Structure 1
Amino acid sequence: MAEKSNHHYVPQLYLRNFADGFGRKARVFTFDSTSNETFKTSVRNVASKRHFNRVEIDGVDPNYLEDGLSEMEGELAPFLAEVVAEKRFRTSEHFDWTMNLAAQLSVRNPRMRSQLEKFHKDIAERIASLSVSTREIWESQRKQMQESGVAVDAKVTYEQAKKFHDDKNYEIAIDQTHLIWLEMQMVETVLTELGNRNWCFVSPPDGHIFITCDDPVVLSWKDQKDRGFYGPGHGLMDTLITFPLSSDLLLLGTFENLPPAMNYDALQVADANTHVARYSTKQIYARSSDFNIHTPTKFFASGNELPTLMRRVKKDSKTEFASGK
């Protein structure tokens, strides 16, 4: 079987809820913050990365995870469609499938994987640095390796090993399969906390639409204020989940009480769109360019205006849109 290479970290079935057209003809209006360009394209062409779900395990098809996710998305599709159409969780299955999608999107994306990879590389670098910090530690480490059956070249001296480290004549690579395994553990934890939240279905007024992005489950403090070193966590009080489900439906989740449904006015829709856009990694998506969003140079901007109005400020790998507050 041919190996699949174009892996979507945001499922196409989800993106179609923000697209114009149906099936393979579904197209989304896209703003790309890295190129500062807008365009319409098939949902097949966005929110994907080459071999993102590839696993390398002896005796296991590299497509194993990608195929499994595709099968899961096939089961999810009718439940998500009914949630969007009815603006409610009709059954516990509807709730469970929606939360499962939110957990996957929250954890399994390039931004989170990059952070996870960097964390492991930093640890490996610190261990390597400690190993050659003194001759005594180096000799002790080498002895332990030999006793554990690890092949050690006896000709390599402490001075050579330290120079090799200090000159950075190496590259630390973290196995993607290991990172995927860690992500799956994280998904289970996030899913539990999502299930503990209260959820509200939000609708826009006629003529207004919600947008989504390449990192669409937005976790933030409820007051949306920066707390410096302390970021919001899925299990923390006073946090808010903002999760667009379609052009006409938004989910809000908190640990505090929420009404089951509410209607936003035009300003609140623009605020929500801006909030989602600010947490995008690279791209935002919409059914058309006829949405409202705040930029540093215009309070109510439409999609088509973004390339000329947007002053892109990079901060923590996110596009800085203006605050609507």
Structure 2
Amino acid sequence: MNAPKLHHYVPQFHLRRFADSKGCLWVWDKQNDRIFSAPPAGMAAETHFYRLTQYEGLGYDPAMMEHQLSSLEAAMAAVTGQWLDWLPDMAPLDRLPIPRANRRAVALFLAVQVLRTRDTRDILSALVELDRGTRPSQQEERELHTELIWDEKLVETLARRFSRSIWIIGLNDSGTPFVTSDNPVAFRTADNRQWRRAAILERGTYLVYPLSPTAILYCHPPHGHFRALRRFADSVSPVTFTQSMVESDNSGQTFMATRFLMSSRQNFEAERAFAATVGTDIYAG
């Protein structure tokens, strides 16, 4: 069987959950301020993005990482797919049954998802350029990035952090859908005032990950004032989402996105408005 050439850094199962009734995504290209419709199969992907060129000459399968990522995705799709099947029949404060194996699968997926995106590759390349004054080649970028994703100690550190967090699921029936992006794992400060791009291990930030247009996962640290949330652990949030609350969570996707935001609806006016404030002090004070 031929190895897939197009490698997704955001899994197709995730993107398909944000598609419209025709199975297509509405996409906002925030770099060019352009809105278009596209199938999930063509988004957040690049040719041979995870090809292990550094091991190819040694006889190893250059598609090994892509196969490993597919296994992680399958586990995440199964666990969260079950959640999404249950959630419409659940009430606020109902608890989701999350066995240890399922919690491990989700935490591991989130850890790798943080590391596997184009955004992370660009940050690595920028650091190399800062250190030596020249940008690495495309092949060197890929090799540096795949080695990072394969850093077992780093992945396990992140997975432990996420697994030990207080998980709460938010249900959205506001009529305004959650959106996703090409860099969908977002981090927010405890006071909810800032999204932080380089906050993987920053104490006090919490993780925000949209599961679908109507569901979102929060992973809060189990320390500090977040301890008060323990009673909601693994439960449906008691909060009733308003349009402004959904737009606030969507602003995290706008901030985190390298280039593309994706939604089940064509309207990105709130995301456009927020993007215009990034880098300003409009929310300071």
TM-score bin, normalised by smaller chain = 0.7 to 0.9
Matched AA of 1:271 = S
Partner SS for 1:98: helix
User: Do 1:210 and 1:247's aligned partners in 2 also have CA atoms closer than 8 Å?
Assistant: yes
- Following superposition, the deviation at residue 311 of structure 1 comes to 7.0
* Alpha-carbon contact 1:269-1:292 (below 8 Å) kept: no
Who is 2:214 aligned against? 248
Unaligned runs of 5+ in 1: 127-169, 297-309
Indicate conservation of the 8 Å contact 1:270/1:292, yes or no: no
Match status 1:103 vs 2:111? yes
Give how far 1:4 is off.
Answer: 2.8
Q: Contact 1:8–1:48 at 8 Å: present in 2 too?
A: yes
Distance 2:15 2:37 in 1: 13
Code of the residue aligned with 1:18 in structure 2: it is F
Deviates more, 1:174-183 or 1:270-279: 174-183
**Which letter maps to 2:6?**
N
Q: Which residue of 2 aligns with 1:47?
A: 44
Identity of aligned residues (%): 21
TM-score (norm 2): 0.78
Q: Secondary structure at the match of 1:293?
A: helix
Deviation at residue 224 of structure 1 after TM alignment: 4.4
Q: 2:252 aligns with which of 268, 271, 275?
A: 275
Give the alignment of 1:8-19 within 5 angstroms.
Answer: 8-19=8-19
Q: Deviations over 1:184-212 (max 9, x none)?
A: 32322211111121111101124231111
Q: Which secondary structure does the structure 1 equivalent of 2:270 belong to?
A: coil
State the aligned residue count. 258
Whether the 8 Å contact between 2:126 and 2:135 is mirrored in structure 1 is no
Residues 42-89 of structure 1: per-residue CA shift (max 9 Å, x gap): 001111122111002110122121122223323332212012222435
CA, structure 1 residues 36+171, in 2 after alignment: closer, same or farther (shift >3 Å)? closer
SS of aligned partner of 1:86: helix
Give 1:193's aligned residue: 161
| Deviation for aligned residue 1:103 | 1.3
Inter-partner Cα distance in structure 2 for 1:267 and 1:311: 16
Alpha-carbon contact 2:254-2:271 (below 8 Å) kept: no
Q: 1:92 aligns with which of 100, 109, 118?
A: 100
Equivalent residue runs for 1:172-183 within 5 Å: 172-173=136-137, 174=140, 176-183=142-149
2:172 and 2:268 mapped to 1: Cα distance?
Answer: 11
Q: CA deviation at 1:179?
A: 2.9
Residues 232 and 239, structure 1, Cα contact 8 Å, conserved in 2: no
The one of 186, 205, 208 aligned to 1:218: 186
2:90 — aligned with what? none
Counterpart in 1 of 2:91? none
Task: Determine the structure 1 residue equivalent to 2:242.
Answer: 265
Q: CA deviation at 1:294?
A: 5.3
Distance 1:269 1:92, change over 3 A: same
Instruction: Determine the C-alpha separation between the residues in 2 that align with 1:17 and 1:191.
Output: 24
**Distance in 1 between the 2:197 and 2:36 partners?**
33
2:255 partner amino acid? R
- For residue 79 of structure 1, what is the amino acid of its counterpart? V
| Cα distance change on mapping 1:117 and 1:189 into 2, 3 Å | farther
Check conservation: 2:186, 2:197, Cα contact below 8 A.
no
Provide the C-alpha distance between the structure 1 equivalents of 2:204 and 2:76, rounded to a whole number of angstroms: 30
Does residue 36 (structure 1) correspond to residue 2 (structure 2)? The answer is no
Higher-Rg member (1/2): 1
CA deviation profile, 1:213-269 (whole Å, cap 9, x unmatched)? 111110132224469xx9763333321211101111011121123223223122211
Q: Which amino acid aligns with 1:31?
A: W
Q: Distance in 1 between matches of 2:275 and 2:203?
A: 33
- Where does the alignment leave 5 or more consecutive residues of structure 2 unmatched? 88-95
**Greater displacement, 283-292 / 3-12:** 283-292
2:216 alignment partner AA: L
- Per-residue deviation, 1:279: 1.9
Question: What secondary structure does 1:275 align onto?
Answer: helix
The two structures have a TM-score, normalised by structure 1, of: 0.70
Distance in 2 (alpha carbons) for counterparts of 1:231 and 1:20: 28
Q: CA deviation at 1:171?
A: 6.7
